[in-house]
């Protein structure tokens, strides 16, 4: 059984078919990349999975159970955590306090001892290399550190599925490489990951499989080397990209 299954899902906004009859499955342990030009419907797919918006048609299953009608906090407690394209730490709090909120949000948080919660926070801060900034107010973090915090908050919930929406955006090459390393490390700890990313080399390097969206539809899915040679993908995505000029790439 797939960990996540999106089955014939559609969602419109007014006349815009943001997501149009999209189906895919994600298996436990995978890193799956979700790519496509701006406006293709990628973030909407994540919003649908995490319950921020509802589907018009179709159904999403997590561990075989339908998610329809469930509120975002219920879906989060089932084991799906996410980051946002625009990072949104809780202002006026420290890094540690932000991560603590993630830990307290766990399904079993109410039954956990305070020391155990503190252990989770400490481990998560170490995992995302934020220990040195643990007691800094979030306002003092630079963009790369805020991205690490965004991941730490999600990881503190100890999810089974992590949804990452453009965590690399705005970072320099060194910071991107660091974040790629961290994402791989999270995956090695058993977390299944769906990652939306514009930095092509990063998503192609990280992902076991890649899904390509174009105007709300899924136009290709498969291993990165296969998808990158698919003529529809080259036309839809790389063709479009070429018109916009060069993009940042990670050197191997």
Which of the ranges 39-47, 151-159, 198-206, 209-217 carries the binding residues for Mg ion, by CB under 5 A? Answer: 39-47
- According to the binding rule CB under 6 A, does residue 42 interact with ligand ADP? yes
Instruction: Indicate which single residue of 43, 47, 83, 207 sits in contact with Mg ion (rule: CB under 5 A).
Output: 43
Complex with Mg ion: residue 20 or 43, whichever CB lies closer: 43
- According to the binding rule CB under 6 A, does residue 13 interact with ligand ADP? yes
Query: Least CB distance from residue 215 to ligand ADP, whole Å?
Result: 9
Complex with ligand ADP: residue 36 or 102, whichever CB lies closer: 36
- According to the binding rule CB under 6 A, does residue 20 interact with ligand ADP? no
- According to the binding rule CB under 6 A, does residue 38 interact with ligand ADP? yes
Task: Work out the widest C-alpha separation in the chain, in whole angstroms.
Answer: 55
Complex with ligand ADP: residue 95 or 220, whichever CB lies closer: 220
Which of the ranges 32-40, 86-94, 136-144, 170-178 carries the binding residues for ligand ADP, by CB under 6 A? Answer: 32-40
């Amino acid at each position: 059984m797939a960990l996540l299954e999106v089955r014939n899902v559609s969602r419109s906004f007014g006349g815009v078919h943001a997501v149009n009859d999209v189906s895919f499955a994600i298996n436990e342990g995978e890193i799956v990349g979700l790519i496509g030009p701006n406006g293709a419907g990628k973030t909407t797919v994540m919003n649908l999975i995490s319950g921020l918006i509802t589907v018009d048609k179709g159904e999403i299953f997590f561990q075989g159970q339908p998610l329809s009608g469930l509120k975002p906090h219920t879906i989060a407690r089932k084991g799906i955590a996410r980051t946002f394209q625009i990072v949104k730490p809780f202002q006026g709090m420290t890094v540690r306090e932000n991560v603590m909120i993630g830990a307290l949000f766990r399904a079993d948080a109410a039954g956990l001892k305070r020391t155990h919660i503190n252990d989770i926070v400490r481990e998560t801060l170490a995992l995302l290399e934020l220990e040195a900034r643990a007691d800094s107010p979030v306002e003092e973090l630079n963009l790369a550190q805020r991205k690490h915090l965004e991941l730490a908050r999600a990881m503190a919930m100890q999810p089974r599925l992590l949804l990452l929406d453009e965590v690399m955006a705005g970072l320099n090459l060194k910071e991107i490489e660091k974040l790629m390393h961290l994402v791989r490390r999270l995956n090695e700890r058993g977390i299944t990951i769906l990652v939306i990313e514009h930095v092509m080399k990063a998503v192609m390097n990280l992902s076991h499989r890649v899904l390509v969206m174009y105007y709300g539809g899924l136009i290709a899915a498969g291993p990165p080397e296969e998808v990158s040679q698919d003529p529809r993908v080259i036309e839809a995505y790389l063709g479009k990209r070429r018109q916009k000029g060069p993009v940042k790439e990670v050197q191997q």
